Amino acid sequence: MKPHFQILFLLLFVISVEGFSQKSIFKNNSKYKYFSNNQDPDSNWRKLQFDDASWQSDSGRIGYGESDIKAIIPKTTSLYLRIPFIIGNAETMQEMCLYNDYNDGFVAYLNGTEIARTNLGKPGEFIPYDRVTDRSHKAYDYRNYYDPLNGYYLDSQLVKSCLRNGTNILAIQVQNDSINGSDLSFNCSLVDLTGHEYYFMDDYFKQVSLDSTLFPIININTDAFGIPDLDSKYIAKMSIINNSNGKYNKLTDAPVDYNGRISIKLHGHSTLRYPKKSFGIETQDSAGNNNNVPLLGMPKENDWILMAQFIDKSLIRNELAFIMGRGMGHYEPRTRYCNLELNGEFLGLYYLAEKIKRDSNRVNVAKLSASDISGDDVTGGYVLLYDQNDDKVQFVYPKNKDLQPEQKEYIDQYLNNFQTSLLKPNFLDTDSSYTNYIDTQSLIDYIIAEEGMGNPDAYHASTYMYKDRIDRDGKLKYGPLWDHDVAFGNFVYCAAIGWQFNNTGNEFLYLPEIMRDSSFVHQLQKRWHKYRSSFLSTNSMIKTIDSLSNYIAADRIRNFQVWPIISGTILGSCFSSKGDTYEAEIDSLKEWITRRFAWIDENIGSIYFPVSEVSTTTETINSIEIFPNPFSDKLSIQLKLRNTGNYSVHIYDMYGRNIYHSDPNYYLPGDHEYNFENKIISVLPKGIYILTLVENGNFVYQCKIVKD
């Protein structure tokens, strides 16, 4: 579990339970009337006034050929149900959800009005009793929690047009996938979503028909079991409709980009708790072998990710992150917006991205074979992933099944040598410097990107690295970027101020130790200002946001029809959004980036980098004295200044965390004294700290101080 979701689950206990409640209108064990005589019932069977006295009665799951069926019926192609329920306050109800467990398809009516349909033709189409379903679908017993489709959202307009005070009827027509097939079942419940404020582990969506779009359409069909397991891959068929020259795409158009076999699996960790799922897909030939193809104009490969981007209401945060990385000159996964149709259900706007892997057009490191176990051969290439979920470095390339013991031992020792070098007193000496192991420029850019985004997952989740052969610049490099849907202010503790590298859980990259190197910090500062004068300027970022949001305008409107989240709170995303419209979300994103970048501008000059010796700039300071040192309950600074300026004092612990900083004070040249308040000194635990003096945003003095 990612650290930010550990905090999220704590929030579940402190936020009012009322915000999560779903009030049952009727449950899946309610009583109903049913008809199953291998013939069409009276044409009025779905209406409220229909007399169903001659129909049979029962309750619970109904059907045959499966386990846990309460009401067992003879083999049939069709089943008709009428479920009565009473409403006393129809005028106050705004939204509802119909939860279904079915095999193989159904049409649902509320008081005679169609409200949902799956695997049975087009909305409004009459389905005779002997019509088989468009596709097979196994019931919930054969599928698990991660099944992406289970609940059907009924919006306020539909509810108000159908619902009435007193008795109402939910009428269901259930159809089999073959004439008198081997199994058939149905069960359902109806809940009131009025006042349902949070959208977290809810699994409902609204059925919306995809008419036409300028974006490509990806159409995927699985077998009857869908994608029932978290870790396994399943065979499916995928077609991509992608008409060129600005032509609209329709589901009835012929596939252009791809039409063939794939394997598909669920993708992600924390995001799987949301109803809109991400998927990993592999393009395959008819025999199941990898089939490298150029999807949507991207270079040939066989591994791809369909990203759901559910928690990010802007739908552009991941692309914004990639644009930042590309602006720094690094490879970031190529992407294309598209619309997804899965097993006949339109699931809204998705994002097809290259999966991070070794490839000449992706992470371009040398190939490793099983025989590359010594000398220069074993030194590369590797693609690594650190995720605190697993608390260890994972091998993306080579895959675990191909990884040789000598190769794993080499990387483990390489990382150990790098970390050990930082713990030596002479960590900056040429022969033993940490810079012999890592590419500092790639790390600087990685820090700038993650800090600019204020990513709460930075440095400890989805942290990719790669290493090439020693004869191809074999230092460890950082990137590509990945998984930034909670960045840019989109999480409950994603503040616009403060350094992410100061957070606990970020120790793996050894940033506090690296930032003892003043040369590294100065390069970081210089590079930030360079980027700020070009593609990271506030105006440039705002223009990029406008361009992306305008680009997806038509399709994101349809997306939020399918997933009714724009006016509610997605639990886990930012609680401080200014409004309940997409425009308000974009305004909040712009405002956050403006504040974040301004804060970095103001504070990057005072990033902590302790040194072992007292460092003074004699052009600024004539003398300085810290006393007493060691200290217990009092601490003072006396200094003689040569320059006029704004001065502030900072105290850092040995992990680089800012324990204290004063507001800047304007001082004239001469003698000055600064006394720390007792309430500050008293709360400091015993130990070693770094005291830093900053003049006009620049370091001018640092030394160790010790509290007894």
CA distances from 381 to 265, 359, 415, 470 (A): 27, 11, 14, 9
Kindly write down the DSSP assignment for every residue of 55-112, as one continuous string: SEEEES-EEESSTT-SEE----SEEEEEEEEEES-GGG---EEEEEEEESEEEEEETT
Are 244 and 330 within one domain?
A: yes
Are 473 and 571 within one domain?
A: yes
Check which CATH number belongs to the domain holding 152 and give it.
2.60.120.260
Which tokens belong to 248?
């609209």
Are 191 and 328 within one domain?
A: no
> CA–CA separation, 589 vs 541, rounded Å?
10
Using pLDDT thresholds of 50, 70 and 90, give the confidence band for residue 688: confident
Are 601 and 614 within one domain?
A: no
204 inside domain: no
Under a CB-based contact definition with an 8 Å cutoff, are residues 79 and 63 in contact? yes
6 inside domain: no
- What domain count does the chain have? 4
Under a CB-based contact definition with an 8 Å cutoff, are residues 254 and 181 in contact? no
Are 186 and 225 within one domain?
A: no
188 SS3 class: strand
Are 427 and 530 within one domain?
A: yes
For residue 392, what pLDDT is reported? 79
Are 550 and 578 within one domain?
A: yes
Where a domain ends, among 323, 354, 385?
354
Are 543 and 396 within one domain?
A: yes
Where a domain ends, among 572, 605, 638?
605
453 SS3 class: helix
CA distances from 281 to 7, 148, 266 (A): 31, 16, 9
Quick check: pTM over 0.85? no
Using pLDDT thresholds of 50, 70 and 90, give the confidence band for residue 245: confident
Which tokens belong to 151?
């609940």
Q: 2-29 pLDDT, tens per residue?
A: 444 444 433 333 333 333 456 889 888 8
Under a CB-based contact definition with an 8 Å cutoff, are residues 588 and 578 in contact? yes
Are 92 and 134 within one domain?
A: yes
For range 168-185, the mean pLDDT: 96
> CA–CA separation, 120 vs 270, rounded Å?
33
362 inside domain: no
Residues of the chain with pLDDT > 90, as a percent, come to 63
CA distances from 161 to 22, 44, 543 (A): 21, 19, 42
CA distances from 277 to 264, 305, 347 (A): 12, 11, 9
Question: Pick the residue with more confidence: 48 or 573?
Answer: 48
Interstrand relation of 569-570 and 198-199 (parallel, antiparallel or unpaired): parallel
* Region label for 431, one of left (φ > 0), alpha (ψ between -120 and 50) or beta (otherwise): alpha
Which tokens belong to 64?
């045959």
Which tokens belong to 22?
């779903």
Expressed in angstroms, the distance from the first to the final Cα of the chain is: 39
188 inside domain: yes
Under a CB-based contact definition with an 8 Å cutoff, are residues 84 and 167 in contact? yes
Provide Rg for the chain, Cα atoms.
31
Where a domain ends, among 588, 605, 622?
605
> CA–CA separation, 322 vs 354, rounded Å?
12
Are 473 and 493 within one domain?
A: yes
388 inside domain: yes
> CA–CA separation, 283 vs 295, rounded Å?
10
Are 45 and 104 within one domain?
A: yes
Are 26 and 115 within one domain?
A: yes
Q: 586-645 pLDDT, tens per residue?
A: 999 999 999 999 999 999 988 866 544 334 444 556 678 888 888 888 898 888 887 777
Bridge partners for 290 per DSSP: 284
Kindly report the three-state secondary structure assignment for every residue of 677-700. Answer: CHHHHHCCCCEEEEEEEEECCEEE
165 inside domain: yes
Closest CA to 520 of 651, 609, 422: 609
370 inside domain: no
What is the domain extent for residue 72? 22-195
Check which CATH number belongs to the domain holding 636 and give it.
2.60.40.1930
* Sign of the four-CA dihedral 567, 569, 573, 578: positive
367 inside domain: no
CA distances from 472 to 126, 371, 372, 377, 445 (A): 66, 19, 15, 11, 20
Using pLDDT thresholds of 50, 70 and 90, give the confidence band for residue 426: confident
